[in-house]
Chains A and B, each alone.
Chain A
Amino acid sequence: MAERERRLTRPFGGVFVPRTQVMDADDLRRATWRMAHEIIEANGGVDDVVLVGLQTGGVPLAERLQAALLEIEGVEVPAGRLDVAFHRDDIGLRPVLPEAPTDVPFPIDGAVVVLVDDVLFTGRTIRAALDALTSFGRPRAVQLAVMIDRGHRELPIRPDYVGKNLPTRKDEAVDVHDDGVDLGEVVK
């Protein structure tokens, strides 16, 4: 599961213990397919659309969406990876280190940037991502695709494309991986 998720959930930096499976591999596949269609429909095609997966949980999902869009529209949409560590609002409050490379090797001026992440929670990571995007250029629009929206927003951020809405308690944790999605806890 994403380091970030693990670190944001009490007790910080523990181990994830799954309790229930909320999506299996097929559910994931179907949701990805549906989201890809929604992206195409909302933007009237994939012209000017680029994907930016947030490290680390959003990157595999961005790759899957890219593959799905290729199958549906026959176009390889540019996909980049973004680590938002340097833009986080909790630098100085807790240990922060970038986990993985940032690689956005295409221009985003005037593009429709679809940010992709595995789990949407407080919204702070997305705010950091929006801030990061400003160093790369000025998109025409920014949209947000997440596999799981688990609620508990602390900022006015909302997703455009959602795999599944999952009500959770704040002390619970969600793990999105290749074979599905689990709900559980983080323990020290």
Chain B
Amino acid sequence: MTAPTLVIKGGRLVDATGVRTGDVVVGDDGSILAVGPDLDAPRVLDARGCVVSPGFVDVHTHLREPGKEEAETIETGARGAAAGGYTCILAMPNTTPAIDSAGVAREVLELGRKAPCDVRTSAAITVGRAGEQLAPMAELAALGVRFFTDDGTGVQDTRLMRRAMEYASALDVVLAQHCEDDALAAGGHMHEGEWSSRLGIAGQPAEAEELMVMRDIALARLTRARIHFQHLSTDGSVAMVRAAKAGGMAVSCEATTHHFTLTDERCSTYDPVFKVNPPLRTAADVAAVRSGLADGTIDCIATDHAPHTPDTKEQPFDEAPPGMLGLETALALALTELDLAIEEVVGLLSWRPAQLLGVADRHGGPIIEGRRANLCVFDPEQEWTVDPSTMHSRSRNTPYAGRRVRGRVRHTLLEGEPVFLDGEATR
């Protein structure tokens, strides 16, 4: 018989069923025991003025372990995720060594077991992410890996990508693509356009991304496979996905917070904190991403959380590595920048990525009796200023330093346990 451990009191519940008020009682087995008015339990988590939602799910996080622990570890990344309201994150495979075998995947999952967030891992499509030979997808799928990508780079060889799609269609997995045509993008450090020209920095055109989106949609049509596009950033890419979906194809995609918030003009200070792949684009592209999020073309928000140590980001712009932090600012930016109803924002952050990732049994809600207590309690009105020195990441490369935003996580519950409580990490 499970006993109640805590009650989340006074909040506004937002999940896929809609918006309602109610208290949520959590049991010692990590499940939701009851939802309703005026409930009690030994411990009270105050949620007055707050929204109670399913914990967020990030389908795109770089945890840097193994290989670059000075920038982030699975533990510190997971802590930052909890601070951002995430209860589930998907580690990207561009570690050293790459996650392209059962051995490395097992290591990552083991390291994630004690983390304050449900750490899942993706695996590479090709061995070493070298784009030459298929990785052992079936063996990895047997370990529970559901998501394959060479992220950090795209699969350049068309024939190999076709084979990957055909092979993957027999497994219940998602093939995802980091769309970047190396031949067009080579040597580009920001979006090719007026700004890159003015700043004297080699750029990569929007077409470097769009070419691969176009190609993979064609391949998906040919092989009747499904394909997921990671971090889409251009209006052309969004338009192609919209058309493919309208045509009934099994295409999905994600967009990052920076791609609906920042433009290439930010690079004009030459601060490499604004250097990212795919690069910040034009205002028209940002507008297209926002429309895509609003009309369902873009399935979910992903962070592409990419920590880099300060000294690597204190190099000349063209030498610095691309990537920005994202876990702790995603909610606030989505609330502040997107003109969407709260349930739509929460959906983009929680149940929709949960469905994509196949973790909807534990994450993404709805908040009803019997479901796992993976929850986020946040104050949608609280204003705060982004301060890199207070972040939980080992790194500091957030492009939002000093920015005033609205929406702050107060508590995060992982399997019933408050891993983030009153604005502080508990483990």
- Do any beta carbons of A and B sit within 8 angstroms of each other in the complex? no
| Chain B residues with a Cβ under 8 A of chain A | none
| Chain A residues with a Cβ under 8 A of chain B | none
